[in-house]
Amino acid sequence: MTKPDRPDNPEPLMITAKSISEAYSRTLLHIMEHPGNEIAPLVLTIDGFGEGYDVPEDPRVRTALDALLGSKKKRDVEDVAHTIFPQRFWTMAQGDRAKLFEFYKMAFPFYRARNPKANGKGLYFERLMMYGRGPCDGNQLEWILSQYDSRPGVRRSMWQATTFDPARDHSATAQLGFPCLQHVSFVPTKAGLVANAFYATQQLFDKAYGNYLGLAQLAAFMAHEMGIPLTRLNVTIGVAKLERISKTDSAMKPLIEAARACVAPPAPATQRPSPSLRLAAQRA
């Protein structure tokens, strides 16, 4: 029996970042600078979130990636993020989560009909709030928030939601595009909310950045509804793969340059001489 061309017991790669752009950039550069096209497993931990529930990004990385995705006829970052959290619906709802859920219920049949091949089994946010069974009519997010608001000291294992459903998703089909995200959990701490997500596999080129953005937006929504800051997002990926584009593709160059600029240490500030030193120099 031929052994797979990978380490039998690989150590996790841990990436610490201050933004989703930095996390994506460090992951991409690691792939580009090492043999192969997989990282298994990959663990990301991201902080640096502000108090206003906005998700900071590096526009250079986002712009370069969206341009590359467009040239390869792939969905842009916002479209991928929308599968995990519909940020534009949350903006339309103006802070009313009941309206957010209502907007999504109205829109989901359209998403499924528009792309039955990709969305026929569902979407991540649909599984989180329309799972099909359970309390709150299967709305796992509403259940978590309602229990968080109900009383203090509730067990922390209650704050988790699943997207994988064995009844629907255990299949012998060779390739399935959904669901790769298995579950999410939310941990309120004294510093704020820590969100955790687990992927069995993840496509680094056309999905990863949108995944990170959608997860951060979901976590920011939950933190907002809990009335606490978002302090950290952790993402564990069993196998992260760079597929559907070659590492040697020349079209990757602008994205690689943007990624390197994103992770480069800030240039040291030029120190101006003090007034007394300038005066001394003029007298000399």
Calculate mean pLDDT across residues 241-246.
94
In tens, the pLDDT along 140-195 reads 999 999 998 776 666 777 799 999 877 776 766 656 666 789 999 999 999 999 99
In the chain, what are the domain boundaries? 13-267
**pTM for this structure?**
0.89
Q: Does the N-terminal peptide bond of residue 41 adopt cis geometry, omega within 30 degrees of 0? A: yes
CA atoms of 192 and 25, how far apart (whole Å): 26
For residue 273, the one-letter residue type is: P
Domain 13-267: assigned CATH number: 3.30.572
- Give the DSSP H/E element, type plus range, for residue 158: none
Which of 154, 145, 204 is closest to 180 using CA atoms? 204
Peptide bond into 179 cis (omega under 30): yes
pLDDT value of position 166: 75
pLDDT of 4 > 80? The answer is no
Residue bearing tokens 């959990």: 185
User: Which pLDDT score, from 0 to 100, does residue 267 have?
Assistant: 76
pLDDT in tens, 23-58: 999 999 999 999 999 999 999 999 999 878 999 999
Residue 49 is predicted with a pLDDT of 93
Instruction: Assess whether pLDDT exceeds 60 at residue 284.
Output: no
pLDDT in tens, 210-236: 999 999 999 999 999 999 999 999 999
pLDDT at 2: 47
